[in-house]
Amino acid sequence: MTPPVNSTTTSAQPTESETRDASELNSLNAQMIAILDFGSQYSELIARRIRETQVYSEVLSYRTTADQLRQLNPKGIILSGGPSSVYDDRAPLCDPEIWNLGIPVMGVCYGMQLMVQQLGGRVERAERGEYGKANLILDEATDLLHSIEPGSVMWMSHGDSVMEMPPGFHLLAHTDNTPCAAIADTKRKFYGVQFHPEVVHSQGGQALIRNFVYESCGCEPTWTTEAFVERSIREVKARVGDKKVLLALSGGVDSSTLAFLLHAAIGDNLTCMFIDQGFMRKGEPERLVKLFHDQFHIPVVHVQARDRFLKVVEGITDPEEKRKKIGHEFIRVFESESKRLGPFDYLAQGTLYPDVIESADTNVDPGTGERVAVKIKSHHNVGGLPKDLQFKLVEPLRKLFKDEVRKVGQALGLPDEIVRRQPFPGPGLAIRILGEITEEKLEILRDADLIVRQEVNKAGLYNEIWQAFAVLLPVKSVGVMGDQRTYAFPIVLRMVKSEDGMTADWARVPYDLLETIATRIVNEVKGVNRVVYDITSKPPGTIEWE
């Protein structure tokens, strides 16, 4: 963490990458809400909710200074939640000059407590914490709480509470356990909410966010798919010019949308390369190449590299090491193939915002190496990039959530077959096989995965489920088949519903569907004698098992 901020000091200077990302925001949209991240797992969800109002938003480090925010000129600022207590010696604090910018600010949970402390109020450990659902009792329905029904359920997650409001603030709402659940200084347009309006459990939470965005900040709905496509094509042309770009094509909605976007911007200067690393699902490599060649008329270089990747991950059981090894090997293959086909100046990747967030060591103190937010997992196209990368990266989608990418794909003319395709991880089946990867296990999982997809499609649930797939565990169990004892692998079925992949709930699919899938897998897939269903939500689990 950075040293604490008080009334006479300013926050630590952001890193070079943070400054670069901040400068990009100004060109993205003049109607922008800046979110300062204090380590909450919900920070990106706040950004997602704001974008639903057709206003651009982005998460920045809590170390972003008032001067940098002044240059960005956001219409509003939101301080996120976080795991710290504001009275701790090393609590992450924002630049106190933010309060003098004349910009509306809303603090959420920890962000509200930080606002209170820095402006002269008092925060203490509560006698009773409040976690989960709580009924909001309105004291004053101002512009922030306009259209919020009395008694609305809001999602709480805090052990500290505001005991004394700063000068100029008044009470908007409370709960049975929290005396200050929502507060405001309407003159300066400072607001604080102890609950999390961004989560789906908060009734009227999105209405509250809209009130802040439109009524308090005066934003206009300018963040649209059409505007993004036009701006991105213009920016790619300006950046790349007549240089050549190599695209890492996987066939998913992300890289396929990127292929269409880049092709619209630079035409024949784009080369799509599909690396068959041996971790794809059954029949997908052949389908992908044929689709792009025959239907889209975008040439694809098909590179067979199965043996190379299997050798790289041989004997590896740690999931982080798997991802990084695969990521490194991807780049090495691109480098060697580009020398044959190129030269290329740029490497394009379909990296999305959740990929960046989950891979990031967010808000790292350069002195101690401590983090405010915890890295969940590395993504092969983010955390696995080698330091001696031979390309400049082009990642026009890295600021988008998955549903936003689907809208961009539709605007560019991609067929539903790709636009509605369920997310598939870059390392593919390699992270759906727990433990060591072998060709035998890959074949087992490919066959099981195909059955899952076939039956989910047949049941008409494909577009209702965010992801439906199979996982192979590195254990064996005893079974009986044809009066014979078996000792074989179990398959885990994973089906979840989600809006953006940041949070997810397990899908309540019909028992008959589960029975059909389990029966087919046990009967048709050699080496499997047991099927189980994962009913864990995210959090606490992740969608993928590795």
Listed in order, strand segments (DSSP E) in 354-458 are 392-394
Distance CA 180, CA 193 (A): 8
User: Left (φ > 0), alpha (ψ -120 to 50) or beta: where does 189 sit?
Assistant: left
> Measured between alpha carbons, how far is residue 86 from residues 201, 418, 434, 487 in Å?
26, 46, 40, 55
DSSP 94-111: --GGGGGS---EEEETHH
Beta bridge partners of 155: 133
Distance CA 207, CA 409 (A): 28
Active site members: 109, 196, 198
Both tokens of 279, joined, read 């971790």
Distance CA 409, CA 419 (A): 6
DSSP 52-64: TTT-EEEEEETT-
Looking at residue 435, the DSSP 8-state letter turns out to be S
Both tokens of 306, joined, read 């199965």
Both tokens of 238, joined, read 């300006």
Cβ neighbours, 10 Å, residue 492: 18
Distance CA 492, CA 479 (A): 16
Both tokens of 456, joined, read 């989910």
Contact 133, 222 (CB under 8 A): no
Nearest to 378 by CA among 360, 354, 352: 360
Distance CA 419, CA 252 (A): 8
Question: What phi and psi, each to the nearest 5 degrees, are found at residue 431?
Answer: -105, 10
